[in-house]
Amino acid sequence: MTTTQTRTDAAHSSGNGLENAYAHGRLGRRVPWLVLGATMLLSIVAFALLAAAGSTDGFNIVGAIMVGALGYGVVIFITSLLVEGMRQAKDRLVTALVTTAFIIALLPLISLLYTVVVNGLPRFDVEFFTWSMRSVVGEGGGAVHAIVGTLLMTLTAAVISVPIGLMTSIYLVEYSRGGPLSRAINFFVDVMTGIPSIVAGLFAYAVFALIFGPGIRLGIAGAIALAVLMIPVVVRSSEDMLKLVPNELREASYALGVPKWLTVLKIVLPTAMAGITTGVMLAIARVIGESAPLLVAAGFTANLNYDLFDGRMQSLPLFVYNSYIAQGTDAQAYLDRAWAGALTLILIVMALNLLARLIAKIFSPKKGR
């Protein structure tokens, strides 16, 4: 009885020792935010004073945020070390470093969007979306011909590449057994993924040059060049999504006597539709900003052209490029059009992503209660 009591007392004593070893104060919930606000304020004030003294070329908001974030990490570590102990201080330091890394990664995107919006808004008017650049010199004009050309060529490229890419991925996942054909397809898809975009443009130009002769530039050629770039992205993204569909769903369908093709159509594809749609949107976003293949295959023009099979067709990336390099006497007017074209391109990509999310939400499998 004495021995048992002694061991129990020792265990309680040891437990209390561990509790005391890790028992420290706790920072209030508002303290980290107060520290963050204080370090950011001090950093902004310091950079503002440096800018006012002429030591820097203007106020560097990015530098102020980065220095403030690093200062927050140092201050919160010291504060937590004094109040909470080393263990919690290390945790707060790592959290601050991870958050700082995220902010640093996000800053270029925010800076890019801010720059494009600020510089593109002066020409973001009705005339810009209703006029082309035909017979326009200097101020005025618009990018309707480039917007129409971009949408037509990208839509045509999607119509060509999505069925090919989706059916290829279905074969690789559902029907292929690792034979020579599937290995060859995987090899060529990997090769197509890494080819420079201008090679796709040269391929499309060469195909149409054999038919119509040298110097031909057509919108459909640009669409085929974009489709060549889209196909491997669609194949890989769709293949990954189809592999994520549980085999239990397929086996349950086969057990009911449903044939393989109907299982793929009614079970596998609806289950993977959200991911497939996202992959298609990523493929579109990858090609909608391409300029090199369209410069070779479709050319550029100042006229509005709705016919993919007749004449050259302008695109937004080439519109931006041409507005920047072909500045006239009023250079600012050309730069304003270039920035407005870039802003329009970003908005189109954002709209496509929102549309992809909506489609994925509509066609994704409904969850039961």
Where do the domains of the chain lie, and which CATH numbers do they carry?
23-122 (no CATH), 130-363 (1.10.3720.10)
The distance from CA 62 to its chain's CA centroid, rounded to whole angstroms, is 22
Please answer whether residues 56 and 50 qualify as being in contact, where contact means their C-beta atoms are separated by less than 8 angstroms: yes
Please answer whether residues 157 and 224 qualify as being in contact, where contact means their C-beta atoms are separated by less than 8 angstroms: yes
Residue 341 pLDDT > 70: yes
Q: What is the DSSP string of 253-310?
A: HHHTT--HHHHIIIIIHHHHHHHHHHHHHHHHHHHTT--HHHHHHT---SS----TTS
Nearest-10 crossing angle of helices 316-325, 331-363: 160
Average pLDDT over residues 95-115: 85
66-76 pLDDT, tens per residue?
888 888 888 98
Q: At 245, which amino acid appears?
A: V
- Single out the residue of 312, 313, 335 nearest to residue 322, CA to CA: 335
Residue 281 pLDDT > 70: yes
Residue 251 pLDDT > 70: yes
Average pLDDT over residues 54-68: 79
In this prediction, residue 24 carries a pLDDT of 60
**pLDDT band at residue 19, thresholds of 50, 70 and 90?**
very low
Give 310's contacts (C-beta < 8 A, 6+ positions apart): 218
In this prediction, residue 367 carries a pLDDT of 59
Rounded-to-integer distance, Cα 34 and Cα 100, Å? 16
- Single out the residue of 34, 32, 23, 138 nearest to residue 85, CA to CA: 23
Average pLDDT over residues 273-288: 87
Query: DSSP secondary-structure letter at 173?
Result: I
- Single out the residue of 159, 168, 164, 133 nearest to residue 147, CA to CA: 133
Rounded-to-integer distance, Cα 332 and Cα 29, Å? 51
Rounded-to-integer distance, Cα 277 and Cα 157, Å? 15
What is the pLDDT of the chain when averaged over all its residues?
85
Give pairs for 26-29: CB < 8 Å, separation 24+: 26/83, 26/84, 27/79, 27/80, 27/83, 27/84
Q: How many helices (H) and strands (E) does the chain have?
A: 15, 0
Rounded-to-integer distance, Cα 316 and Cα 145, Å? 9
In the block, tokens 């971009």 appear at 150
Please answer whether residues 55 and 47 qualify as being in contact, where contact means their C-beta atoms are separated by less than 8 angstroms: no
Give 121's contacts (C-beta < 8 A, 6+ positions apart): 340, 343
Residue 16 pLDDT > 70: no
Q: Which residue has the higher pLDDT, 218 or 55?
A: 218
**pLDDT band at residue 122, thresholds of 50, 70 and 90?**
confident
Specify whether the backbone of 169 is left (phi greater than 0), alpha (psi in -120 to 50) or beta. Answer: alpha
Q: What is the DSSP string of 187-235?
A: HHHHHHHHS-HHHHHHHHHHHHHHHH-TT---HHHHHHHHHHHHHHHHH
